[in-house]
Structure 1
């Protein structure tokens, strides 16, 4: 069903970890080599049965710092702390019928803190690319209506994420 996925990538310039130690600077050069659009296209094709019908899908992906994501987290979730990923779904209301669609269906926005992603990658003993994939797939599932209000729901979501990651050849 998916004919094209458009992914808008925002990367801050001169990005550094919140830490004052410059030895912890994040090298963003590798971010450009991550096949994010291909990942989302693969994932959306795999999730096709659960998607509203559309000519294509669009989402926005923003990489940011702990400082900025904490601002968003406080503003939208009333939690005054950084988090790893936030998703702002555009599909909260009913979707127009496929016959009326002439544009791509906008799914929403995903925001990932690179500070937290790199920290979690180190804690989990896997690469930052694996962590970014994990967070991006988690954000996508949120855009599509998945939630985890309890441990059971969270485990189901993690299982779905593991399946999505295998599709893009990321295993850990």
Structure 2
């Protein structure tokens, strides 16, 4: 798997942990081992421009996902498609505020948002209550199993 991290901010981010998480989620979701993913960290003005351009919503947001080859999770007995999964754009300063409000560390919020973004790239959504439950349950399971498997856990 090719996972690139482009940190265009002054935020101190554990890029290795972001890559480890992304790789873990992609393996668990049976994404092709040669799939490509880019994680881009941007400041609030940049995120606000992207948010308005692509979602027609004002101001910065925490995470946006831009799928490329519309890859989907692998299924039993099927060979997953090879290609570019897409780009996830994260805004560390928005994530930090959300982490403070939720009572956890900004690094944990970035891990959550990365997991969320990958699931969006794989076709998951949360527009309807049933979709939200499925996506958020899967997101929680993936993040908790990743965190439990870390050496520091």
TM-score in terms of structure 1 length: 0.74
Q: Distance in 1 between matches of 2:118 and 2:71?
A: 17
Select the structure of larger CA radius of gyration: 1
Specify which of 24, 44, 55 is matched with residue 77 of structure 1: 55
Note if 1:165 corresponds to 2:147. Answer: no
Q: What SS is found at the alignment partner of 2:69?
A: coil
Partner in structure 1 of residue 21 of structure 2? 39
**Residues matched between the structures, number:** 143
8 Å CA contact 2:5, 2:19 repeated in 1 = no
Partner in structure 1 of residue 91 of structure 2? 113
* TM alignment of 1:2-151, pairs within 5 A: 5-13=1-9, 15=10, 26=11, 28=12, 31-32=13-14, 34-48=16-30, 51=31, 54-92=32-70, 105-151=83-129
Structure 1 position 55, deviation (Å): 4.6
Structure 1 position 34, deviation (Å): 4.3
Unaligned runs of 5+ residues in structure 1 are 16-25
Unaligned runs of 5+ residues in structure 2 are 73-78, 149-153
Q: What SS is found at the alignment partner of 2:40?
A: strand
TM-score in terms of structure 2 length: 0.83
Residue deviations 1:60-80, cap 9 Å, x none? 100112211110011111112
TM superposition outliers: structure 1 runs of 4+ over 6 Å: none
